[in-house]
Amino acid sequence: MIKSAHHKQDDAADGATPPPAGEYIAPVPRISVQAFCESQKTFDIVKTATQDRRLGKAHATVKMGGVAAAIETYSSMPTPNVIILESTGREILDGLDELASVCDPGTRVVVIGSEQDEVPYRELVRRGVNDYILGPIEILDIVRAICSLFSASEAVVTGRIIAVIGAKGGVGASTVAHNVAWTIARDLALDSVVIDLDMAFGTASLDYNQDPLQNIANAVFQPERPDTALMERLLAKCSEHLSLLAAPATLDRVYDFGAEAFDAIFDTMRMTTPCIVLDVPHQWSAWTRRTLISADDILIVAEPDLANLRNTKNLMTVLKAARPNDHPPLYCINQVGMHKRPEIDVKSFAKAIESAPVAAIPFDSKVFGTAANNGQMIVELSKNHRASHIFQQIARQLTGRLEPKKPRSLLSPVLDKLRGKPRRSTANGM
Ligand SMILES: Nc1ncnc2c1ncn2[C@@H]1O[C@H](COP(=O)(O)OP(=O)(O)OP(=O)(O)O)[C@@H](O)[C@H]1O
Ligand SMILES: [Mg+2]
């Protein structure tokens, strides 16, 4: 929705005026912002704005090229949370129409215009533009525009939770969770946190080669509700976009939890992190069931044997019934092709489950064993390993970014119909 266009006074031309007294601009959560400017002056102001403390959590990139560069970029890349476009006139309207065909739903668009533009607000609103800033702009106009898109009431739920659980113990659920999270953070550049919920035996810190001083016990056993500042302190940084909330992995106490023990932790985490991957231990208790049911997406990891088949089926049945308005849990088969082991083939497994797995990951004791012992991801060890590609594919599927997007022509729905293809779904767009 369009807010008021701001008109500048001449004495504010250096762009460094502080906000009016009493105005509070709330900091943004971990979002991605990409700007496409037309003039060097705007480029410099936007660039400086992205270094403001309130945008400290945002991942921002500022480029030249305006709407044309944006269209080119997003025809092959996922769109960020916010796109900022500088307009040079009415051409912006055609550009916005074209951008819409490559833009994820949920991406917010801010347009910077100048008084000479004469672009009618109504036309911008019709194209879904969220804010329009009339130049000459100041640094704070940009900060304010971005932050107000994520003001407190809207920011309550920004993060998406992906829960990963094994159909049996030891099937590789944690390995899959950690590798997929790594891929989401690296390849899709989405700020992600892995939460290791296997309190006593969790391996996430080993897998990411981390030795964090703090862990989830510091939040779950404290009587006060955790806030974002506490959660930030408990995280260990694994890569540019990936952090870890480790498990204590010690046995000095037992870990019996009520159903809601983790609610506040997840809610707090969601306020600052777009993607949260939960490594859920293989157990069926009040809190694991609640965690699975309330997740945005579920991935079950199974080995191709009878017990895994039965457990996957039971998990599917229970979770589908409890989440009637969601798409069913996804599952993958892991450790396929172990030497001399009799296995249920993927086709029969899929038939019994009544849906196809998102992937069948080959058994490779050398590569997986080395990665685990070195505290590395499979892709770090072997970029072209089949499992590396599979983790990428699972990451795309879980985040709704199935294939690189192509701009769609107006005829696409008709052509799809003629070819008998279903229309591309955007239900899972993140
Ligand atoms: N595709 C694979 N090929 C070979 N080994 C694998 C594969 N996937 C996982 N492993 C190995 O299997 C072992 C168990 O993996 P992991 O700890 O991820 O399983 P889990 O299901 O999380 O177990 P737990 O029930 O203890 O949480 C690890 O040593 C891991 O390296
Ligand atoms: Mg595990």
**Å from CA of 142 to ligand 1 middle:** 47
pLDDT at 221 over 60: yes
Mean pLDDT of 86-108: 90
User: Token pair of 193, please?
Assistant: 């946190």
Q: What is the pLDDT of residue 30?
A: 76
Q: What is the pLDDT of residue 25?
A: 67
Looking at per-residue confidence, does 267 or 279 come out higher? 279
Pairing of strands 236-239, 242-245: antiparallel
Closest atom of ligand 1 relative to the 169 alpha carbon: 25
pLDDT at 413 over 70: no
Rg (CA), the chain: 24
| Weakest mean pLDDT among 106-120, 208-222, 283-297, 352-366 | 106-120
pLDDT at 22 over 80: no
DSSP 3-state of 55: helix
pLDDT at 157 over 80: no
Q: Which residues surround ligand 2, an ion (CB under 5 A)?
A: 174
Q: What is the pLDDT of residue 67?
A: 95
Measured between alpha carbons, how far is residue 137 from residues 16, 111, 112 in Å? 10, 11, 8
Q: What is the pLDDT of residue 410?
A: 55
Regarding the beta carbon of 175 and ligand 1, being less than 6 Å apart is answered yes
**Å from CA of 196 to ligand 2 middle:** 8
Q: How far apart are CA 234 and CA 228, in angstroms?
A: 10
Mean pLDDT of 281-293: 95
Q: What is the pLDDT of residue 402?
A: 60
User: Of all residues in the chain, what percent carry a pLDDT higher than 90?
Assistant: 67
Best residue among 165, 168, 175 to mutate for probing ligand 1's pocket (most ligand atoms within 8 Å of CB) is 175
Q: Whose CA is nearest to atom 9 of ligand 1?
A: 172
Closest atom of ligand 1 relative to the 202 alpha carbon: 27
Q: How far apart are CA 333 and CA 309, in angstroms?
A: 10
277 close to 154: Cβ distance less than 8 angstroms:
no
pLDDT at 206 over 80: yes
Q: What is the pLDDT of residue 428?
A: 34
Closest atom of ligand 1 relative to the 365 alpha carbon: 4
Looking at per-residue confidence, does 150 or 262 come out higher? 262
